Amino acid sequence: MDCVVTGGNVKVLAKAIHSLSRIGDELYLEPQEDGLTLRSVNSSRSAYACFLFSPLFFSRYAIPDGHGFRCKVAIKSVQAVFRSLATLEKTVEKCHIELDGEKSRLTFTLHCKHGLLKTHNLSFQDSESLQAVFDKDASTNVLKAQPRLLADTVLNFPPSLEEVTVTVSDERVWFRNYVDQDAEPSKAMLTELCLSADEFDHFAVKAQSSVTFCLKELRGLLVFAESTGLPISMYFDGPGSPVVLSVTDSVLDTNFVLATLSDESAVRQQNPKRAGTPLPPLDDFMNDELESYLIAMDTSMAPGPSFRSLLFGSVYPTGSPLSNLTVAGQKVLASDSEEDPEGV
């Protein structure tokens, strides 16, 4: 891969990497025909983020023919390349990214003001493709808002707050801090904000529902959305199924998929329905070169509400025993191929 980013897009790229660093420790890089994909997933696999930069985002975008190449690098080392975010816009004129599979080298070259040239050669690991399968268009509820609206809303919650509950009705949205059941009632504080539908750019609620998810990743995406000035769309169904936060424009497609807290009673009701519509359509899965899928893990055996882990599955070439196995048993959890091979 050989690509060049210039001008303000360098900052967009840098912000994207900083947003991804809020999710996980590793950055998955995959140059494809339709653009460069940067992804990350957290260690508990309950949050996943993906940035797709289309070839038009770059002033040069060239990828080798044939077999797709992908790798992962420590996100910290990529962050180090774009360390001084504040001055980046003023100092960096051009960023050249080169992925050399033979030398096992990922090179970032920053052409800065005054002729200063910064070259970072990072070592990388080959990796499986990382992809969560989600169909945001099938979501029952869709909200779209300017980043400012959400940022102002989130600002009302203390930085230590981990989870937020979003409840929607036909014409209103409530943001509420999530209070753990075990929390001492006398010490718990509830903050709730109500936003009216007309504050949103787009407001489509088909079913009243309430989802609880982690605020950290939303904050990460907000930083990115605010710097680019692009609206955020939120796609969700109900407790237990993932919420998708999405920021798109003509050259950029960003999706954050976050697990939501499952609701004990709702899980039981939803289960039959879920079994009827398995998340990854079987055929697509078999044919998809990127072979990846997501299984919402049923954690209803655990006492109390808990986050449903989103397992972004191991990705093996078509026909590998592992992929067959996981497809055959919908309930079987596909664990990360590297971390836990015997978990399957």
Partner 1 sequence: MPLSTQSQDSDAQYILVASLDNVRNISNILKAITFKDHAIFSATPNGLKVTVEDSKCLQANAFIQADIFQEFTIKGDSVGFQVNLTVLLDCLTIFGGSTVPGVSTALRMCYMGYGYPLTLFLEEGGVVTVCKINTQEPEEPIDFDFCSSNVTNKVILQSESLKEAFSELDMTSEVLQITMSPNQPYFRLSTFGNSGNAHYDYPKDSDMMELFQCTQTQTNRYKMSLLKPSTKALALSCKVSVRTDSRGFLSLQYLVRNDDGQICFVEYFCCPDEEVRDD
By CB under 8 A, which span of 13-21, 82-90, 307-315, 328-336 interacts with partner 1?
82-90
The first and second tokens of residue 134, run together, are 């989600």
Burial class (CB in 10 A: 0-12, 13-18, 19+), 74: middle
Among positions 56, 59, 62, 105, the unique one binding partner 1 when judged by CB under 8 A = 105
**Angle 158-161-167 from CA coordinates, rounded to 5°:** 105
**Closer Cβ to partner 1, 83 or 268, answer by number:** 83
What is the Cα–Cα distance from 61 to 33, expressed in whole angstroms? 10
Q: How far is the CB of 217 from partner 1 (least distance, A)?
A: 24
Site string for partner 1, 309-338 (x = CB under 8 A): ------------------------------
| Residue 103 binds partner 1, judged by CB under 8 A | no
Residues 44-73 that bind partner 1 (CB under 8 A): 73
Residues 110-169 that bind partner 1 (CB under 8 A): 114-123
What is the Cα–Cα distance from 151 to 133, expressed in whole angstroms? 27
**Closer Cβ to partner 1, 102 or 342, answer by number:** 102
Burial class (CB in 10 A: 0-12, 13-18, 19+), 125: exposed
Q: How far is CA 111 from CA 31, 93, 302, in A?
A: 22, 6, 53
Among positions 8, 60, 83, 330, the unique one binding partner 1 when judged by CB under 8 A = 83
Would you tell me how many other CB atoms lie within 10 Å of the CB of residue 323? 22
| Residue 87 binds partner 1, judged by CB under 8 A | yes
Q: How far is the CB of 97 from partner 1 (least distance, A)?
A: 14
Q: How far is the CB of 17 from partner 1 (least distance, A)?
A: 14
**Closer Cβ to partner 1, 92 or 245, answer by number:** 92
Q: How far is CA 165 from CA 89, 178, 212, 237, 332, in A?
A: 36, 6, 4, 13, 29
Contact residues: partner 1, CB under 8 A = 73-74, 76-77, 80, 83-84, 87, 91, 105-106, 114-123
